[in-house]
Chain A
Amino acid sequence: MARPIRFLLDGVVRESPADTDPTLTVLNLLRYHLRRTGTKEGCAEGDCGACTVVLGELEGERVRFRAVNACILFAPMLDGRALFTVESLGREGALHPVQQAMVDLHASQCGFCTPGFVMSLYAHQREGAPSDPQSLKDALAGNLCRCTGYGPILAAGQAMGAAPEADIAAALKAIQPAEGLAIEHKGRRFVAPRSADELAATLEANPDATVLAGGTDIGLWVTKQRRVLRTIVSLNDCADLKAVEDLGPAIRIGAAVRYADAHAALAALHPDFGELLRRLGGQQVRNLGTVCGNIANGSPIGDMPPALIAADATLVLRRGAARRELPLEAYFLAYGRQDRAPGEFVEAVIVPKPAAGRIFRIAKLSKRFDQDISAVCLGLSVGVEAGRVTDARIAFGGMAATPKRAVACEAALAGRPWTPATVETAVGTLADDFAPITDMRASAGYRLEAAGNLIRRAVLESQGAAARLLDAEAVAHG
């Protein structure tokens, strides 16, 4: 019954036994079991990219190449996939064009982050992604380099040539399992069903299981908090949870849809969604983490909830065959507590398309623009008719123990003119809605003031009066 984890490494089928430790990270699998030490540990929390490897995944007939952080990727998540590491590319004397470009342009100094950059660029190239500076910066935002200042690496990204690559689609098809993975190691289990129905049944039978999507949060429970997870149920192999469906007035994002795969559909709803996702995590996090996982884990500082609450999203929860829907904001009960019963899971989120004429705005404040956690994140949707606010949905992350609507502020806006003066009054009520905390990301005072200013800025921007800072480079040099 029990079968091993089966994956491709350098195009060759590899197996890891059915009693593999379920939370063995791919990084440790590589470094300590397979003696492939080119992949480095820089932080063990998915924030530095030194451990970047590339996953090849079958998507219909096509193979998708995704840069991911091996440090927080559990080995069973390799099942049915192809793994590429820096050793897969080339050796000294026979370098891959991506590696050669890095050499030619002086893109390594201490060299420790370098394999990670090579792999991010390799994935970028295999995906056929554009090589303009901004695309490269976005592709590399999850790779930290402390030596170069990035210029030579970006130059290498622009200059890199391609190599003839073996087509692994057939080899990947050959290792697609007929049934889900179930491994066990000293009483700890990892189960990966192949469909939503199977997942629902598995969770009903294992109501205390940890539901795993991309693992960009759960990975840290293991590597940082050193928690022992008894039963992990992964939804990564549920093909029917990977769809973004157009329902007409709304889109439906399945539980296993990664940020990277939701990006286009959400950006089509509103460009601010696109910008939010562009800045969410690094490419490696966007390639693993899911929109629904960002909701399901209940974090008060997740970036998706405030934006989706403003968009009036609905959450679909499922237990066994039973489904229920609730407004997204109702899911968040208190810090660390969500409206999710044992055995229940988030199956999808339904996001209405913004009505024409509504003012919609998402704004994220963080110390660093890219790959940082928000100090404050705003989602705002305001209906305006004849210059007056018909209704307002304003939600903040980072302002309370949960993502939360600014109820008093919304009420203060309703029926009033959408002008800086009205907004001034409404912003004054934010202190009734929120009592934010002071932490390492920002003080309570800054959070409250900046939250108000984000609404003020939304008014200015909706009136076409203001440029945005991220366009400032164009302002300065256009």
Chain B
Amino acid sequence: MADSGAARGRPVLHAPIGHDSAPRHVSGEALYIDDIPEPPGLLHLHAGLSQRAHARVTKLDLSAVRAAPGVVAVLTPADVPGGNDISPFAGDEPLFATDEVQFLGQPLFCVAAETLPKARAAAALAVVEYEDLPRLLTADAALAAGAFIEPSQTMVLGDARAAIAAAPHTVRGHLQVGGQEHFYLEGQVALAIPGEGADLHVWTSTQHPTETQHILARVLGCADAAVTVEVRRMGGGFGGKETQSVQWAAMAALAARVARRPAKIRLDRDDDMTATGKRHDFEIDWTLGFDGDGKLHGAQFEFASRCGFSADLSHAINDRAMFHADNAYALQTAEIVSHRTRTHTVSNTAFRGFGGPQGMMAVERAMDAAALALGKDPLDVRLANLYGVAGDATPYGQTVEDAVIREIVEALAADCDYRARRKAVAAWNAGEGHLKRGLALTPVKFGISFTTTHLNQAAALVHVYTDGSIHLNHGGTEMGQGLNVKVAQVVADAFQVPLASVRITSTRTDKAPNTSATAASSGSDLNGMAALHACEQIKQRLAEWARADHGHEPRFTPDGVQVGAELFPFRDFVNRAYLARVSLSAAGFYKTPDIHYDRTTHKGRPFYYFAYGAACSEVAIDTLTGENRVTRVDILHDVGRSLNPAIDLGQIEGGFIQGMGWLTTEELVFDDTGRLRTHAPSTYKIPTAGDRPAVFNMALWKGENREPTIHRSKAVGEPPLMLAISVFSALTDAVASVGGHKAMPNLDAPATPERILAAVNDVRRRAHG
């Protein structure tokens, strides 16, 4: 049974408590924005999107659109009272394109009509003429043309070139890593209701209410204080609603302003996938120098990512790829170069892992190649280079002080019987059959904190009412990850009240201001601490009053508040405090300590701590077709002292399967005109229930965060996604077996049947040719 947490005396912290919304999820009562009863006079919006990747707009005739039945307004840049820009900071993303379109799918205008079908039908009547301009669609093309969103960045540890040149062994290679569509089940949606004057209330499915508020105010040319942004829950986010939700909220806000009527926009799945950014795809060159034991002397990585037409968050995303080029390994010396290319494609954006996964893919490919070159088990090469075994210096100047990765890897290898299974796989592959098997065990070390240091702050608001119920509000947003229940557990524990006493409320910019995005896995770390800070303030006021009035320090217990010999029910205690005129409301604040980073030198201590984990995956491939199955997965993951093991295991499994999809079946295909051809679930294939490996074992590492995080827990949102790199390594291992592990497979991601078959053929040719 899910623990409701309501039972008196049962601890709510560190307990496997169910998601607070679960009963409403399963009954259909949980309200998403499109479920909110529609206000009278609601306008329905539909955006007209560019049909060219890069072109001058020579004609935009919207007269037929305006004249179409049911149309109330057609919004264009001329209607924007403030700035026609919805970018997070770079000033390079128009709400509506003006004379030039920069990707296929870029909004040109927006129709506001009485019904959604009428808005859609009207939008189709626009007459748009284009004059094509040269288009750059891939990172390679942009590299060749010198098109970047910022200058290329370099991170250096020692002299990697010299170390590699002097190393006994060298391997190098090239790896393509595909992008990924978020495929949140709830598409982008926003509802704006105008108030009096400039006031505006906006419900939007966003991970970043504060930024939405600020950008909407900028677009509308009003004060931030006039705009209230509210989020109760998202139907999935995964990074895809950190910045990508703003454009649509801005259209709803603008329509509400222009027409003085409520306005709602909800993107159709195809428009959503065409017009919103995705995980960056990468081209990676790598070189490794190492000795005969597989111990690294140095590594070079050269990344080129496709950022799309604008900067969005690409600076920080590509920085994080550089930060994770070492994954869990002491590289000894390193040179990490990162090119951020500007292309005429949708602007790529945050996605669970935020560049980290792409960075790790390179070093894990390199580990597999080094092992193959030496004829060693890749696990042994990995073990020889782990932080805590081989060193503690990262390429960005931070010392790894909390490495538990060796213990995790060794424990997992023992638990999952890695060595015996390695032999069994080799024996199977020695046979004649066309099915081959592969095995890999890979580690994860993920840095926790926004690498843009100032973002590491949070706000919360806690009210204790005189009936003992508690109103909890914080700046984090709920997208399914269980943030709200975790923070509520913290608050219930602080007052030692049943979880049911804590009322979880929607995230609102008028309650918790100037917050950061719920991103970087930081949700419970930051908001849990901010909420605790609010509770501590109220408790301190209560203590001062109790000491003064009763002469005793109050002790909050599951049975009530103990003051000297007296035990008060919590409700009575706070009611007495109220009568004594004690404030029972507090705003909490938190900022992560001990972090700093200098982006000009790429040195500092960007991460408060690291989260660790390891996974072992076993796969089978069909060498005639490239079809593949993940047959078994074992995971051991570090979440510190878990605030809620049920929620954390859910994040681990969900992250793993999402990562597995990224590296296997999920393929973004753009055609030569820049049109995304995989723009719906009929063509873009995320994992189904049938793809879940038949054997899937998960365990939490028993440890606690050495840093004083919220109750010694660790962040969990992103790190488990990268456990799925073990699947890619295992597939690589299976492909290598067709050449007797003599030729390193040139397998790129995602490892679709087609890519696996091509890699099999290539290995056969090289191993036997």
Chain A interface (Cβ < 8 Å from any Cβ of B): 31, 35-45, 47-48, 50, 85-87, 89-93, 95, 99-100, 102-104, 106-115, 118, 133, 136-138, 140-141, 143-154, 224, 226, 282, 365-373, 375, 439-443, 446, 449-450, 453-454, 456-457, 460, 465-467, 469-470, 472-473, 475-477
A23, chain B: closest CB distance, angstroms: 11
A35, chain B: closest CB distance, angstroms: 7
Of the residues A87, A368, A450, contact of B688 by C-beta under 8 Å? A368
Bound CA span A454–B23, Å: 48
Of the residues A44, A149, A475, contact of B654 by C-beta under 8 Å? A149
Do the beta carbons of B688 and A371 come within 8 Å of each other?
A: yes
B291, chain A: closest CB distance, angstroms: 35
Do the beta carbons of B480 and A109 come within 8 Å of each other?
A: yes
Of the residues A446, A466, A476, contact of B433 by C-beta under 8 Å? A466
A184, chain B: closest CB distance, angstroms: 19
Do the beta carbons of B269 and A45 come within 8 Å of each other?
A: yes
Do the beta carbons of B434 and A460 come within 8 Å of each other?
A: yes
Do the beta carbons of A86 and B28 come within 8 Å of each other?
A: yes
Q: Which of B98-106, B129-137, B233-241, B276-284 contacts A (4 or more CB under 8 A)?
A: B233-241
Of the residues A154, A365, A446, contact of B692 by C-beta under 8 Å? A154
Which residues of A have CB within 8 Å of B365? Answer: none
Do the beta carbons of B624 and A112 come within 8 Å of each other?
A: no
Contact with A along B677-691 (1 / 0, CB 8 A): 110111101111111
Which residues of A have CB within 8 Å of B618? Answer: 476
Bound CA span A475–B37, Å: 53
Bound CA span A140–B689, Å: 6
Do the beta carbons of B480 and A133 come within 8 Å of each other?
A: no
Do the beta carbons of A110 and B236 come within 8 Å of each other?
A: yes
Do the beta carbons of B27 and A454 come within 8 Å of each other?
A: no
Of the residues A43, A112, A476, contact of B32 by C-beta under 8 Å? A112
B88, chain A: closest CB distance, angstroms: 23
Do the beta carbons of B437 and A440 come within 8 Å of each other?
A: no
Bound CA span A460–B623, Å: 13
Do the beta carbons of B752 and A367 come within 8 Å of each other?
A: yes
B402 at the interface (CB under 8 A from A): no
Most chain A CB within a 10 A radius of its CB, from B235, B628, B631: B235
**Closest residue of chain A to B25, judged by CB?**
A111
- Once A92-B24, A110-B235 are accepted as A-B contacts, the answer to whether A446 and B757 lie under 8 Å apart by CB is yes
Which residues of A have CB within 8 Å of B480? Answer: 108-112, 147
Most chain B CB within a 10 A radius of its CB, from A36, A109, A133, A371: A109
Which residues of A have CB within 8 Å of B233? Answer: 110-111
Contact with A along B14-39 (1 / 0, CB 8 A): 00101101111111111110110100
Most chain B CB within a 10 A radius of its CB, from A50, A106, A446: A106
What are 25 A-to-B residue pairs whose CB atoms are below 8 Å? A31-B34, A43-B680, A48-B269, A48-B681, A85-B28, A89-B27, A92-B24, A106-B18, A106-B650, A113-B185, A115-B25, A118-B26, A147-B480, A149-B654, A151-B653, A224-B270, A365-B627, A368-B665, A370-B690, A375-B753, A450-B625, A450-B753, A454-B624, A469-B620, A477-B632
B146, chain A: closest CB distance, angstroms: 30
Which residues of B have CB within 8 Å of A366? Answer: 685
Which residues of A have CB within 8 Å of B23? Answer: 92-93, 95, 99, 103
A420, chain B: closest CB distance, angstroms: 11
B366, chain A: closest CB distance, angstroms: 27
Of the residues B624, B628, B658, B680, contact of A453 by C-beta under 8 Å? B624
Do the beta carbons of B185 and A110 come within 8 Å of each other?
A: yes
Of the residues A85, A103, A469, contact of B2 by C-beta under 8 Å? A103
Bound CA span A124–B700, Å: 33
B18, chain A: closest CB distance, angstroms: 6
Interface of B is mostly: loop
Which residues of B have CB within 8 Å of A115? Answer: 25-26, 28
**Other contacts beyond A36-B28, A370-B688: 8, CB < 8 A:** A92-B24, A106-B2, A149-B655, A149-B687, A150-B689, A151-B696, A450-B625, A472-B629
Do the beta carbons of A50 and B694 come within 8 Å of each other?
A: no
Of the residues A37, A141, A282, contact of B34 by C-beta under 8 Å? A37
B183 at the interface (CB under 8 A from A): yes
Bound CA span A197–B586, Å: 76
Which residues of B have CB within 8 Å of A443? Answer: 754
Q: How large is the interface on B (under 10, 10 to 19, 20 to 34, 35 or more residues)?
A: 35 or more
Contact with A along B653-678 (1 / 0, CB 8 A): 11111100000010101000000011
A25, chain B: closest CB distance, angstroms: 11
B120 at the interface (CB under 8 A from A): yes
Bound CA span A107–B480, Å: 11
Which residues of A have CB within 8 Å of B270? Answer: 224
B597 at the interface (CB under 8 A from A): no
Do the beta carbons of B657 and A95 come within 8 Å of each other?
A: no
Bound CA span A85–B28, Å: 9
Do the beta carbons of A91 and B29 come within 8 Å of each other?
A: yes
A38, chain B: closest CB distance, angstroms: 2
- Once A35-B37, A112-B32, A149-B653 are accepted as A-B contacts, the answer to whether A47 and B692 lie under 8 Å apart by CB is no
B253, chain A: closest CB distance, angstroms: 23
**Closest residue of chain A to B181, judged by CB?**
A146
- Once A146-B183, A367-B685 are accepted as A-B contacts, the answer to whether A467 and B678 lie under 8 Å apart by CB is no
B261, chain A: closest CB distance, angstroms: 18
Do the beta carbons of A151 and B694 come within 8 Å of each other?
A: no
Do the beta carbons of A141 and B632 come within 8 Å of each other?
A: no
B143 at the interface (CB under 8 A from A): no
Bound CA span A15–B225, Å: 49
B147 at the interface (CB under 8 A from A): no
Do the beta carbons of A453 and B625 come within 8 Å of each other?
A: yes
**Closest residue of chain B to A368, judged by CB?**
B685
- Once A109-B481, A143-B689, A367-B753 are accepted as A-B contacts, the answer to whether A467 and B433 lie under 8 Å apart by CB is yes
Which residues of B have CB within 8 Å of A143? Answer: 688-689
Do the beta carbons of B689 and A137 come within 8 Å of each other?
A: yes
A394, chain B: closest CB distance, angstroms: 16
Which residues of B have CB within 8 Å of A113? Answer: 185, 235
Closest 6 CB pairs of A and B: A38-B28, A110-B480, A112-B235, A111-B25, A109-B480, A149-B657
Do the beta carbons of A370 and B27 come within 8 Å of each other?
A: no
Do the beta carbons of A87 and B625 come within 8 Å of each other?
A: no
- Once A109-B481, A110-B234, A454-B624 are accepted as A-B contacts, the answer to whether A466 and B650 lie under 8 Å apart by CB is no
B762 at the interface (CB under 8 A from A): no
- Once A40-B185, A370-B690 are accepted as A-B contacts, the answer to whether A457 and B624 lie under 8 Å apart by CB is yes
**Closest residue of chain B to A153, judged by CB?**
B689
Most chain A CB within a 10 A radius of its CB, from B1, B29, B121, B667: B29
Do the beta carbons of B681 and A43 come within 8 Å of each other?
A: yes
Of the residues A44, A146, A154, contact of B184 by C-beta under 8 Å? A146
A343, chain B: closest CB distance, angstroms: 31
Do the beta carbons of A148 and B650 come within 8 Å of each other?
A: yes
Bound CA span A143–B429, Å: 35
A159, chain B: closest CB distance, angstroms: 11
Which residues of B have CB within 8 Å of A92? Answer: 23-24, 27, 29
- Once A153-B689, A369-B691 are accepted as A-B contacts, the answer to whether A90 and B27 lie under 8 Å apart by CB is yes
Which residues of B have CB within 8 Å of A45? Answer: 269, 680-682
Bound CA span A375–B665, Å: 13
Bound CA span A477–B694, Å: 10
Do the beta carbons of B656 and A149 come within 8 Å of each other?
A: yes
**Closest residue of chain A to B38, judged by CB?**
A32
Do the beta carbons of B236 and A146 come within 8 Å of each other?
A: yes
**Closest residue of chain A to B754, judged by CB?**
A446
Do the beta carbons of B27 and A87 come within 8 Å of each other?
A: yes
Of the residues A109, A114, A141, A367, contact of B690 by C-beta under 8 Å? A141
**Closest residue of chain A to B660, judged by CB?**
A149
Bound CA span A154–B621, Å: 25
**Closest residue of chain B to A370, judged by CB?**
B690
A460, chain B: closest CB distance, angstroms: 7
Bound CA span A112–B232, Å: 13
- Once A44-B268, A109-B19 are accepted as A-B contacts, the answer to whether A152 and B620 lie under 8 Å apart by CB is no
Bound CA span A475–B480, Å: 36
Which residues of B have CB within 8 Å of A469? Answer: 435, 620-622, 627-629
B198, chain A: closest CB distance, angstroms: 31
